[in-house]
Chains A and B, each alone.
Chain A
């Protein structure tokens, strides 16, 4: 579904992503793990067209998407949940969710999706009219995921959904991700929390200083002594 070939990202002179190649199949959840500064977010920012990559190609369902402006991606079925959530702080929860459906014109389906998403996240339902900026970090993360779902994506790109959250909240968020994946969503999950990411995904890529160094099925990566030593703190 998504094929990334030789993707490169640089900031001025610094090469953050040095020609990486990977793919995500339809219906699959793929984890991209790596330490701080490995280039994971830069990869997602390039995929979602928030920055112009220095080179490479990104094919989505067979066609090149690097030529599209960011606002055209959502209509293709790609949704990004950005690092740090990126909720609209001075909009209510409901308004944030409605922004997720901004590109859609099927009003009645949007309303039923809204009910559906709020059903997924009872916490957001209770806080429907609260400004998103006043939500807790975990609630904001739920909101960001819910907002992405509101666009009815075919491919979701998640950037560190566990960042800065208490373990209980991380569990909850991952339950949601699992449920979304079980519904058949294709997901590219970027995480520093390698253990969790590998537990929920089918395949994984390990990124180090801008390059992909290891790739395998997630359960094999979980068992790999090198990966365990470097990313699972053993």
Chain B
């Protein structure tokens, strides 16, 4: 019982992070049909930038919360610029190219960003200084920390904000219109290039926040961390139905929970043949199963596309 509850708590924390990253994939896919494989690396850069800022401000005597806040904000800004630049430099010139071309470019950009990060931050694991004093809460035999509470609540705020933006603001309406029919949207006066850039910028901002969360949760970072995180978030987006915002949120949480439960019970299930460090296989099992049996994802089935 307490394993179940504990793994649920961990799964939701992890899932909140996956969901934020998945939103970046799904927003871009929803609008231009591109899987931006470099998105995981944008998240990694977000973690790294936050790390650098926080470490260099740590000795400045500023209050802890301010330091963390500055780290988060700088990381978000850097990632927004990076997302914008990726679209502008790498993808926009290929807008009318065959679908495979931007996809390969995305993989190329992901390699470029990894190497840039390696040059800047080195090949070794970076450990975050333990700055936040962890408070542990107990419920029903399981426990969670203040960091987890912060992660889940911040993710919730970001998601509500995004839903508000997409459904209640003018730029959000332009984004939805562009996703549904870019030609007609442009006839309504929507500057498609701007909308596409916005999708990258917003997705990258969410990714940066997720990157900061990962950093503060695991207290460790590495220039290759974006690869696995990106792949899992991509799986979450596919699970929810790629292109669908609510799907990415639900898919992220669900994947986090599946993974955590899997990690919690894999020992029991395999007679201790496989340990919890095999938790990564669950994301891939989910990806394969979804692609085989329901490629449109849980929320992917669209009704009313008749035009």
Interface residues of A (CB under 8 A from B): 48, 50, 69-75, 79-80, 82, 84-91, 95, 98-100, 102-103, 131-134, 140, 147, 151
Contact B173 A102 (CB under 8 A): yes
Contact A134 B188 (CB under 8 A): no
CA distance A98 to B174 in the complex (A): 11
Contact A103 B188 (CB under 8 A): yes
Q: Per-position contact with A for B263-307: 1 when CB-CB < 8 Å, else 0?
A: 000000000000000000000000000000000000000111111
Would you list 28 pairs from A and B whose C-beta atoms are within 8 A, ordered by A residue? Answer: A71-B187, A71-B188, A73-B187, A82-B183, A82-B184, A82-B187, A85-B307, A88-B177, A88-B181, A88-B185, A89-B180, A90-B302, A91-B176, A91-B177, A95-B173, A98-B173, A99-B188, A100-B188, A102-B189, A103-B188, A103-B189, A132-B304, A133-B303, A133-B305, A133-B306, A134-B304, A134-B306, A151-B188
Contact B303 A134 (CB under 8 A): yes
Cross-chain pair count, CB within 8 angstroms: 84
Contact A89 B307 (CB under 8 A): yes
Interface-central residue, A82, A89, A132, by most chain B CB under 10 Å: A89
Contact B190 A102 (CB under 8 A): yes
Smallest CB–CB gap between B42 and chain A, Å? Answer: 28
Contact A99 B173 (CB under 8 A): yes
Q: Per-position contact with A for B178-220: 1 when CB-CB < 8 Å, else 0?
A: 0011011111111110000000000000000000000000000
CA distance A70 to B191 in the complex (A): 8
Contact A70 B177 (CB under 8 A): no
Contact B185 A99 (CB under 8 A): yes
**What is the total number of residues of chain B having a CB less than 8 Å from a CB of chain A?**
23
CA distance A140 to B184 in the complex (A): 14
Smallest CB–CB gap between B246 and chain A, Å? Answer: 12
Contact A88 B176 (CB under 8 A): yes
| Contact among B176, B189, B305, B307 for A86, CB-based, below 8 A | B307
CA distance A100 to B176 in the complex (A): 14
CA distance A170 to B177 in the complex (A): 27
Contact A71 B190 (CB under 8 A): yes
| Contact among A50, A90, A151 for B176, CB-based, below 8 A | A90
| Contact among A86, A98, A131 for B304, CB-based, below 8 A | A131
Given contacts A91-B180, A95-B173, A133-B306, could you give 7 more A-B pairs where the C-beta distance is less than 8 Å?
A50-B187, A69-B186, A69-B191, A71-B190, A90-B305, A102-B170, A151-B189
CB-defined contacts of B187 to chain A, threshold 8 Å: 48, 50, 70-71, 73-74, 79-80, 82
Smallest CB–CB gap between A42 and chain B, Å? Answer: 14
Contact A71 B189 (CB under 8 A): yes
CA distance A103 to B189 in the complex (A): 5
CB-defined contacts of A84 to chain B, threshold 8 Å: 307
CA distance A80 to B187 in the complex (A): 7
Q: Which residue of the partner chain B has the closest CB to A74? A: B189
CB-defined contacts of B170 to chain A, threshold 8 Å: 102
CA distance A89 to B177 in the complex (A): 9
CB-defined contacts of A140 to chain B, threshold 8 Å: 307
Contact A86 B306 (CB under 8 A): no
CA distance A62 to B270 in the complex (A): 78
CB-defined contacts of B191 to chain A, threshold 8 Å: 69, 71
CA distance A87 to B307 in the complex (A): 7
Smallest CB–CB gap between A227 and chain B, Å? Answer: 31
Q: Which residue of the partner chain B has the closest CB to A96? A: B177
CB-defined contacts of B185 to chain A, threshold 8 Å: 88, 99
Smallest CB–CB gap between A208 and chain B, Å? Answer: 27
